[in-house]
């Protein structure tokens, strides 16, 4: 209580100290100071636009690349009824990316030209899942998520099945639409309506 | 000579005019009983931070923040550059020590009630310093650009993606693009080397300035109550009546402990060596079991033990609640008792959190929730489980291995611990229950119905039925005997 009264008393005292003339009249010097601040504000705002644009550009970076169809190899390399590891180079590459743009995925040839291509990342927290053909399970080494051969959830912490890349067979090649790290939150927006990883 | 030095000193001070304020700062009176070994952790944290600055700059002389070069530049630091391994080890162990000392400092400040009036802002800035320290720890782990760093980023991205609506945008901001790649490492480098250290230096400066301006927290006495109206005059009276200049009265303990901490960091660095790097950050190498550094192991454990439905809320709401709680603490209990002897809930809270973090960290040391990916091919069934079994049961043991049951179930304490150990499973489950469990799964076990032929299931269950201690009969379904007419009904109801 005592502190608040003393502060208000101080404030009142301060108000009394200031001559009233200074509040209403604008001196030449004061005007230029205000204009100077305004000018700096304008420059800062103008500069903020490209800075923010630069910073946010990573959200849209490589977006066009998602639409590209990435070949995984000839259909004949994937025996029917089996699941094999395939690797592809991310369609969006920067010169300093090194090996990080090489990505692995699991390719399951169901029958004929019917494929399922699963992301390597566990739908729980993104660790690399491994395929065990003997028990027909994908297992995650991190927190023990497990998936059946069709990618559906079998057990463990994942709330959903494995992420799947859209795929099609073209000229005897199996191709997928990839280019983005699949994450469990919201599936990424490819065209705004069709997510690249359909559950 | 002395006169010469004195003259040079005067020349500088006439221009800098810093001698008086510095003397005032180092000689400010502190309550005598704060010259205690309990009060050395703040200065120790600052010491380790300075050590991190120096070793960090030294590492930056060689390290290349590029996704294609970082790993090999770490290798040359480890193997080619003279004492590069030692500087890396100092920096790595320094980060471990810094997290630990900051936490100890925080616990001491909390238990001594130092966050109460008028030091609320000192505490709040301290909370930000803790968050920045953890930020440095995580970003530093990313700069050690190896397999753990790569998949650790994936885990970070997976957590960030769960933020409603903004999730995907946050992930791309964090990664600098659609995938973990060159831009990711570059931005974590910027964070680790420019942004967070800059903020840390500024905030540490404010933190120390406030300690000097407001005075060090006096040793808490039970019954000495903090009141906003009277505290400051009481504190000044205390420092006047029972005070001593910080320098040299209290400073020698800080000096000794600071030197001891640096020596301890150097000893760990010499003895244990640098951390990693582990395998190359090549996402096509999937034979990896990523694990975070030790200060995030508790989180690793928590993420596998939480029920799936609670995970996202806990991940998104938990940190907000904890940080808000820490920030609001000085406003919720800004007055009152400082002594831990009169604050049982405070002591219990610290103990509870310490036990929780300790238990989770301990569990994450051997990860009972992770399947052992090589157990099925690497760990044989111990001979005693096979001894004297029939051909069918041995076939079952083979199925047990080949179908990777062993990755999650241990036999004779060897194998995965994701599922229950099966040494005496026959005592717990009857034949029917075993068949049902194998075929339909459930209770966090996948269903094996589609991957086992009837013959394999029969053999497997026959083997599982042999798994019971000697002298203890396997579980049997009593109704079967009744149906077969072999046994009387229990309870005499004929």
pTM of the entire structure?
0.87
Neighbour count for residue B57 (Cβ, 10 Å)? 11
Do A30 and A102 fall into the same domain?
A: no
For the stretch A29-55, pLDDT in tens is 999 999 999 999 999 999 999 999 999
The closest CB to that of B68, out of A85, A90, A96, belongs to A96
* Nearest chain A CA: its distance from B39 CA (Å): 31
- Domain co-membership, A52 together with A81: no
Task: State phi, psi for A162 to the nearest 5 degrees.
Answer: -65, 150
The tally of CA atoms less than 13 A away on the side-chain side of residue B110 is: 22
ipTM value for the complex = 0.84
User: Do the Cβ atoms of B404 and A137 come within 8 Å?
Assistant: yes
> Phi-psi region for residue A184, left (φ > 0), alpha (ψ -120 to 50) or beta?
alpha
How confident is the model at residue B183, as a pLDDT?
92
Please name which of B395, B364, B391, B368 lies closest in space to residue B381, comparing C-alpha atoms: B395
Domain that holds residue A54: 22-60
DSSP class of residue A121 equals B
Question: What's the confidence (pLDDT) of residue B82?
Answer: 95
Chain B positions in Cβ-Cβ contact with residue A177 (cut-off 8 Å): none
Same domain? For A46 and A98 the reply is no
pLDDT tens for B76-90 read 999 999 999 999 999
A contact residues 59-88, partner B, Cβ 8 Å cutoff: 59, 61-63, 65-66, 85, 87
Per CATH, the number for B29-366 is 1.20.810.10
B 444-483 residues inside an 8 A Cβ radius of A: 444-448, 450-451
Interchain proximity B181–A100, CB inside 8 Å: yes
Q: Are residues A85 and A126 in the same domain?
A: yes
Predicted pLDDT of residue A143: 87
Chain segment A127-142, per-residue pLDDT in tens: 999 999 988 999 998 8
Q: What is the pLDDT of residue B85?
A: 96
Yes or no, beta carbons of B450 and A136 under 8 Å apart: yes
Closest chain B residue to A181, measured at CA: B179
Q: How far apart are CA B475 and CA B469, in angstroms?
A: 12
Chain-wide mean pLDDT for chain A? 82
Number of domains in chain A: 2
- If asked whether residues A73 and A130 sit together in one domain, one would say yes
If asked whether residues A82 and A164 sit together in one domain, one would say yes
A42: buried, middle or exposed (CB in 10 Å: 19+, 13-18, 0-12)? exposed
Each domain of chain B, given as residue ranges in start order, spans 29-366, 375-482
Domain shared by A31 and A83, yes or no = no
Helices B308-332, B297-305: inter-axial angle, 10-degree rounding = 130
Does residue A179 or residue B43 have the better pLDDT?
A: B43
Q: What is the pLDDT of residues B261-288, one digit of tens each?
A: 999 999 999 999 999 898 899 999 988 8
Q: pLDDT tens across B15-52, in order?
A: 999 999 988 888 888 898 888 899 999 999 999 999 99
pLDDT at B133 over 60: yes
- A·B CB contacts under 8 A: 214
- Phi/psi for B29 (5° steps) reads -75, 135
- What's the mean pLDDT in B456-466? 91
Residue A159 lies in a domain: yes
DSSP H or E segment with residue B100: helix B84-111
pLDDT number for residue A42: 97
CATH number, domain with residue A70: 2.102.10.10
Answer whether A97's CB lies under 8 Å from B67's CB: yes
Give first-to-last CA distance, chain A, whole Å: 61
List pLDDT tens digits, range B50-64: 999 999 999 999 999
Partners of A134 on chain B (C-beta within 8 Å) are 376, 402-404, 451
| Residue of chain B with shortest Cα separation from A146 | B446
Q: A20 pLDDT band (50/70/90 cuts)?
A: low
| Residue written as token pair 């420059």 | A43
Instruction: Name the residue of chain B whose CA is nearest to A123's CA.
Output: B158
Whether A6 is in a domain gets the answer no
CA distance A159 to A143: 13
pLDDT in tens, B178-224: 899 999 999 999 999 999 999 999 999 999 999 998 989 999 989 88
| Torsion angle of the four alpha carbons A154, A179, A114, A155, in this order, in degrees rounded to the nearest 10 | 0
Q: What is the DSSP letter of B275?
A: -
Residues of B in contact with A180 (CB under 8 A): 178-179
The reply to whether A95 and A156 lie within a common domain is yes
B166 Cβ under 8 Å from any chain A Cβ: no
C-alpha B61/C-alpha B73 separation (Å) is 10
**ω into A182 cis (within 30 of 0):** no
Task: Please tell me the predicted confidence (pLDDT) of residue A198.
Answer: 38
| B375-482 CATH, one of 1.10.760.10, 1.10.40.50, 3.90.1150.110, 3.40.50.300 | 1.10.760.10
Does position A5 have pLDDT exceeding 60, yes or no? no
Classify residue A14: in a domain, yes or no.
no
| Closest of B158, B477, B143 to residue B315, by C-alpha | B158
Handedness of CA A33, A36, A42, A43 (dihedral sign): negative
- DSSP characters over B277-345: --S---TT---------GGGHHHHHHHHHS-HHHHHHHHHHHHHHHHHHHHHHHHHSSSB---GGG-HH
The model's confidence at residue A193, banded by pLDDT at 50, 70 and 90, is very low
Give the Cα separation of A49 and A38 in Å (integer).
17
Of B158, B376, B451, the CB nearest to A183: B158
In this predicted structure, the answer to whether residue A197 has a pLDDT above a threshold of 50 is no
Residues counted in chain B? 494
Closest CA to A110 of A75, A135, A69: A75
Contacts of B333 (CB under 8 A, 6+ apart): B116
Pairwise CB contact (< 8 Å): B284 & A126: no
Q: Is residue A1 part of a domain?
A: no
């Amino acid at each position: 209580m005592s502190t608040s009264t003393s502060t208000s008393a101080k404030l009142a005292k301060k108000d009394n100290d200031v001559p009233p003339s200074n509040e209403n009249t604008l001196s030449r010097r004061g005007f230029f100071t205000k204009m100077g601040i305004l000018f700096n504000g304008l420059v800062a705002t103008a500069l903020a636009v490209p800075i923010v644009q630069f910073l946010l550009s990573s959200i849209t970076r490589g977006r066009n690349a998602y639409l590209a169809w990435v070949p995984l190899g000839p259909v004949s390399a994937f025996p029917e009824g089996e699941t094999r590891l395939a690797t592809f180079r991310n369609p969006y590459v920067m010169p300093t990316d090194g090996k990080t743009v090489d990505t692995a995925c699991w390719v399951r040839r169901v029958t004929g030209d019917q494929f399922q291509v699963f992301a390597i990342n566990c739908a729980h927290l993104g660790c690399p899942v491994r395929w065990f053909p003997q028990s027909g399970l994908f297992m995650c080494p991190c927190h023990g998520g497990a998936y059946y051969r069709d990618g559906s959830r079998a057990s463990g912490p994942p709330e959903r099945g494995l992420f799947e890349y859209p795929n099609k067979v073209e000229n005897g090649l199996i191709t997928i639409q990839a280019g983005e790290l699949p994450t469990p939150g919201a599936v990424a927006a490819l065209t705004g309506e069709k997510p690249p990883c359909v559950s | 000579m002395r006169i010469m030095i004195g003259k040079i000193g005067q020349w500088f001070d006439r221009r800098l005019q810093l001698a008086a304020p510095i003397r005032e700062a180092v000689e400010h009176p502190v309550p005598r009983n704060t010259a205690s070994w309990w009060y050395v952790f703040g200065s120790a944290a600052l010491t380790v931070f300075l050590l991190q600055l120096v070793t960090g700059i030294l590492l930056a002389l060689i390290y290349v923040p590029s996704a294609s070069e970082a790993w090999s530049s770490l290798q040359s630091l480890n193997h080619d550059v003279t004492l590069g391994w030692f500087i890396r080890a100092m920096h790595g162990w320094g980060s471990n020590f810094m997290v630990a000392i900051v936490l100890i400092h925080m616990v001491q400040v909390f238990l001594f009630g130092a966050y109460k009036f008028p030091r609320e802002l000192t505490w709040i800035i301290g909370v930000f310093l803790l968050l920045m320290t953890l930020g440095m720890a995580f970003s530093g782990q990313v700069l050690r650009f190896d397999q753990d760093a790569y998949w650790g980023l994936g885990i970070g991205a997976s957590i960030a993606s769960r933020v409603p609506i903004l999730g995907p945008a946050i992930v791309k901001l964090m990664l600098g693009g659609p995938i973990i790649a060159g831009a990711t490492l570059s931005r974590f480098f910027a964070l680790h080397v420019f942004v967070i250290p800059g903020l840390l230096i500024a905030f540490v400066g404010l933190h120390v300035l406030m300690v000097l301006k407001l005075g060090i927290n006096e040793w808490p006495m039970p019954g000495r109550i903090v009141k906003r109206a009277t505290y400051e005059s009481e504190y000044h009276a205390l420092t006047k009546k029972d005070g001593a200049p910080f320098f040299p009265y209290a400073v020698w303990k800080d000096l000794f402990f600071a030197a001891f901490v640096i020596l301890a960091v150097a000893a760990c660095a010499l003895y244990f060596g640098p951390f990693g790097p582990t395998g190359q950050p090549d996402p096509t190498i999937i034979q990896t079991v990523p694990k975070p550094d030790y200060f995030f192991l508790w989180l690793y454990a928590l993420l596998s033990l939480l029920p799936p439905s609670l995970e996202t809320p806990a991940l998104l709401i938990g940190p907000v609640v904890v940080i808000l709680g820490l920030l609001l603490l000085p406003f919720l209990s800004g007055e009152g008792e400082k002594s831990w002897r009169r604050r049982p809930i405070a002591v219990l809270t610290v103990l509870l959190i310490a036990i929780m973090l300790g238990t989770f960290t301990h569990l994450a040391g051997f990860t009972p929730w992770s399947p052992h990916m090589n157990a099925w091919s690497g760990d044989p069934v111990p001979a005693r489980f096979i001894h004297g079994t029939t051909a069918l049961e041995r076939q079952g043991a083979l199925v047990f291995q080949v179908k990777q049951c062993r990755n999650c179930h241990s036999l004779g304490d060897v194998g995965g611990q994701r599922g229950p150990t099966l040494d005496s499973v026959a005592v717990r489950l009857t034949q029917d229950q075993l068949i049902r469990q194998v075929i339909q799964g459930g209770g966090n076990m996948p269903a094996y119905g589609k991957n086992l032929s009837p013959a394999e299931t029969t053999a497997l269950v026959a083997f599982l039925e042999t798994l019971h201690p000697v002298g203890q009969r396997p579980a049997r379904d009593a109704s079967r005997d009744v149906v077969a007419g072999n046994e009387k009904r229990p309870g005499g109801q004929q």
